[in-house]
Chain A
């Protein structure tokens, strides 16, 4: 390989390392060809991780720990219940982050609709209402399926839009 080619490679590597404006300037490893994987979400940006659970790291069996996240450890769930509800884990398909759902659903209500009426009709609790009642946060109890409630609320005819709340980080600095 001639000198200019080597120079171009190193220069390219230097430029490549600068190519992100979000300060992640660490030199990168050369990329290898990968097999395409198309992960489809179960809702929004998220895939439900029903086979996994977050437990306090201090009590987790070290042999069962898949990864650690602060003072929590990700382990294979031993629960037979696959109910998707408050505390269930989801994976963000964009950044791979695993986080629990809060059990809340954020709602934008249609004109004339009331959060308390919806709560009575669909057996959910009103956590808060804002902005003259058009924005509402409702929650399910631990025996209720969150996706099922989301579908019911969306089909009620009283909701413009509804989103399950995930306690993770969707955005990145840029």
Chain B
């Protein structure tokens, strides 16, 4: 591949061969020496060695489609159980995508459960697990109740006693706002956990997002405000309502050297991480299934990338960059596989595969037991991951903590959750599992102000100051924490849809200056919002009237897994800060089109804050 780049540069007269070789050697140096590290994996072989290959459970792939006749998926696809949700589909049991340039769902499915040991293609993480596909992401007019069907409600064909291990959800809604929390969505999205698998619950696995370094909607915003250079996530993985509750397991992406990928969105809601890789060029990506033949799919003449690069740089160059995906590779003669799948879209199904192995190893486990096993057995990858500080006046704010060990002995990192899933250790724990989490306890929202229908707190958040607005919540019950939610309203009347300034449209920095930290009764700190994140439009309510002008957060809910296993009893401290007074111009306006950002001239205000704890009664 490197030679292809050298040839391109020489061919276009940009450099001499010697210069080009030197240039690309340097560009590749980091990847060639540091990216592929033996042992930085999910330890799947150890699970297989324990005799667990995913039998007896079924994974539901909610995605763009699923090629049910694919040679390496068909043996695991449950006949006539998939759903095509498009209204005009003639065969409702076949969600095979009509797209010729690739099918995301088929590639996702292969990572979970492409058939093993059959002499074809690769092997999924859980190669004997059954597969059902539902094409929620397919373009076109859909059937009514699609949102319910993809959560296993009656009518989906999924019975309440069926051994569904996981609903994989490698999708999301990415927009530079904090979406308001939806209780209706929580009720629907938690249905698999609460109602399926005879009450023991199925799991939902969700990709955390690919916007650690983003440059689409908000243009160069996260470059201009320093987030990219500092190593802070541009989008918070907590920004969607569905990422703010424990019923969806949010999964981040790691590389083949065990470190953070260039794109994986971070946040306190992450439960774990899984390999996904980069782009299959400088650094490895995932090898997985692809729609069959070279006439459709990502691998083949019509693949989105192949066709795009062929058009831009020529056939030879495209073939040199994607040798496995380009038609004619001897190990991929029919283009039924691809080597370029990546994103948290890949991390989620890898984790779904591990969860399928866990529930295959022990069918008596509840969805909370699965969560407990992941928290207990995941690998603390990138162990030296450093903290990140941002200047605030003459002081500093720790915007990213790296690994934080809590009072119960669990280590959490906003980049990786409890770490990279370890199939071998997870299956081992599943097989000998004796922990009794007891009945789930969920507290009411405890707090004050607008988030609990009381008079707004109106607490000023001083600009560029570590003082912040601090609200303390007392939890009386001795509950062992499995997850903690924090609901906040933050207002600044300068934070509307933009400020016209001559020919330019500017926006207030009130959203991106915001930082939130929580300290548990045991003293553990969790950063919910690091500052410099893409909160550049008012909070958005998908159940109501859309943008909530003036509100940076309106019913904004953040999940934190950092307190797992600690006692909830005592004082919780929520501190909301404004940690910058900088104004700046944008080099690239993006689709949202703000030419610059001006520091808020008035302090933002904390209008309400509340805590809700998910857990179980402490045995002590």
Q: Which residues of A contact B (CB under 8 A)?
A: 3, 6-7, 10-11, 14, 16-27, 31, 33-38, 40-41, 43-45, 54, 69-72, 93-94, 97, 99-100, 102, 104, 106-108, 127-128, 130-131, 134-135, 137, 160-163, 165, 167-174
- List residues 208-236 of chain B with CB under 8 A from any CB of chain A: 209-210, 213, 215-216
10 tightest CB-CB pairs across the interface, nearest first?
A26-B308, A21-B343, A21-B210, A161-B184, A41-B546, A108-B184, A25-B305, A36-B593, A102-B144, A173-B104
Given A43-B545, A160-B183: A167 and B142 interface contact (C-beta under 8 Å): yes
Selected contact of B187 from candidates A16, A19, A33, A134, CB within 8 Å: A134
Q: What is the interface of chain B, defined by CB distance below 8 A to chain A? A: 5, 8-9, 12, 14-15, 19, 23, 27, 63-64, 86-88, 102, 104-105, 136-148, 153-155, 170-175, 182-184, 187-188, 191, 194-195, 207, 209-210, 213, 215-216, 253, 261, 263, 276, 279, 281, 298, 304-305, 307-309, 312-313, 340-345, 497-498, 505, 542-547, 588-594
Closest to A32 in B: B589
Is B141's CB under 8 angstroms from A160's CB? no
A27-B312, A41-B545, A169-B137 given; A36·B304 CB < 8 A: no
- Flag if B546 contacts A99 (CB, 8 Å): no
Check A168–B304 contact: CB distance below 8 A. Answer: no
Q: Cβ of B343 and Cβ of A171 under 8 Å apart?
A: no
Cβ contact within 8 Å between A174 and B343: yes
Contacts of A44 in B (CB 8 A): 542-544, 546
Contact A173 B141 (CB under 8 A): no
Q: Which residues of A contact B102 (CB under 8 A)?
A: 23
A99 near B141: Cβ-Cβ < 8 Å = yes
Nearest CB of B to A114, in Å: 16
A contact residues around B594 at 8 Å (CB): 36
The contact of A11 among B27, B209, B276, B589, by CB within 8 Å, is: B27
Are B593 and A35 within 8 A (Cβ)? yes
Closest to A47 in B: B546
B residues in contact with A37, CB < 8 Å: 593
Q: Which residues of A contact B146 (CB under 8 A)?
A: 167
| Contact between chains at A40 and B153 (CB < 8 Å) | no
Contact residues in A for B19 (Cβ distance below 8 Å): 3
Closest to A159 in B: B184
A sample of 27 cross-chain residue pairs with beta-carbon separation below 8 angstroms, ordered by A number, consists of A7-B15, A11-B27, A14-B5, A18-B281, A19-B263, A21-B263, A21-B342, A22-B210, A26-B304, A27-B308, A35-B593, A36-B505, A41-B545, A44-B546, A54-B141, A71-B88, A94-B175, A134-B187, A162-B543, A167-B87, A167-B141, A168-B141, A169-B136, A170-B173, A172-B174, A173-B64, A173-B137
B604 CB to nearest chain A CB (Å) = 21
Q: Which residue of B lies closest to A132 (CB)?
A: B195
Contact: B174 with A167, CB < 8 Å? no
Complex: A131 Cα to B235 Cα, angstroms:
34
The CB with the most chain B CB atoms within 10 A, among A6, A21, A37, A169, is that of: A21
State A71–B5 Cα separation when bound (angstroms). 43
Q: Are A174 and B305 in contact (CB under 8 A)?
A: no
Closest to A13 in B: B312
CB closest chain-A residue, reference B505: A36
**C-alpha spacing A54/B87, complex, angstroms:** 14
Nearest CB in chain A: distance from B56 CB, A: 27
B589 touches A22 (CB 8 A): no
Contact of B145 among A33, A100, A137 (CB under 8 A): A137
Chain B positions within 8 Å of A70 at CB level:
86, 88, 140-141
Do A169 and B173 have beta carbons less than 8 Å apart? no
A10 vs chain B, min Cβ distance (A) = 7
From the candidates A34, A71, A162, A174, name the one contacting B207 in the complex (CB within 8 A): A174
In the assembled complex, the Cα of A24 lies from the Cα of B64 at a distance in Å of: 14
CA of A148 to CA of B15, assembled, Å: 66
Q: Note all chain B residues with C-beta closer than 8 A to A40.
A: 546-547
Given contacts A11-B27, A169-B136, contact A25 B345 (CB under 8 A): no
B174's contact among A24, A26, A174, by CB below 8 Å, is which? A174
Q: Contact check, A25 vs B308: say whether CB atoms are below 8 A apart.
A: yes
9 further A-B pairs in the complex, CB-CB below 8 A; given A36-B593, A41-B547: A21-B210, A23-B341, A23-B342, A34-B591, A36-B498, A108-B183, A163-B182, A169-B138, A174-B344
In contact, A20 and B187 (Cβ under 8 angstroms): no
Q: How many Å from the CB of A166 to the closest CB on chain B?
A: 9
From residue B6, how far is it (CB to closest CB) to chain A in Å? 12
Q: Which residues of A contact B145 (CB under 8 A)?
A: 104, 127-128, 137, 165
User: What separation, in Å, do the CA atoms of A130 and B155 have in the docked complex?
Assistant: 11
- Supposing A24-B304, A34-B591, A174-B207 touch, asked if A131 and B191 sit within 8 A by C-beta, the answer is yes
Bound complex: CA of A165 vs CA of B542, how far in Å? 12
A3 to chain B minimum Cβ distance, whole angstroms, is 6
**Across-interface contacts of A161 in B (CB, < 8 A):** 182-184, 543
Note all chain B residues with C-beta closer than 8 A to A17: 308-309
CB distance from B204 to the nearest CB of A (A): 13
Q: Given A7, A72, A174, which contacts B23 in the complex, CB threshold below 8 Å?
A: A7
B141's contact among A31, A69, A107, by CB below 8 Å, is which? A69
Give Cα A174–Cα B252 distance, bound, in whole angstroms: 11
Kindly state the separation between the CA atoms of A1 and B216 in the bound complex, as whole angstroms: 27
Contacts of A14 in B (CB 8 A): 5
Central interface residue in B145, B182, B213, B215, by most chain A CB within 10 Å? B145
Which chain B residues border A22 with CB–CB below 8 Å? 104, 210, 343, 345
Q: Is B343 a contact of A23 with CB atoms below 8 Å?
A: yes
Rounded to whole angstroms, the CA-CA distance of A51 and B305 in the bound complex is 37
Residues of B with C-beta under 8 A to A36: 498, 505, 592-594
Question: Cβ of A27 and Cβ of B309 under 8 Å apart?
Answer: yes
Q: A69-B141, A169-B142, A172-B171 are in contact. Are A131 and B545 (CB under 8 A)?
A: no
Complex CA–CA separation, A162 to B298 (angstroms): 39
Residue on A nearest B15 in the bound complex, by CB: A3
- By CB atoms of chain A within 10 A, which of B8, B175, B305 has the most? B305
* Assembly CA distance A96 to B462 (angstroms): 39
Asked if B144 and A165 make an inter-chain contact with CB atoms under 8 angstroms apart, the answer reads: yes
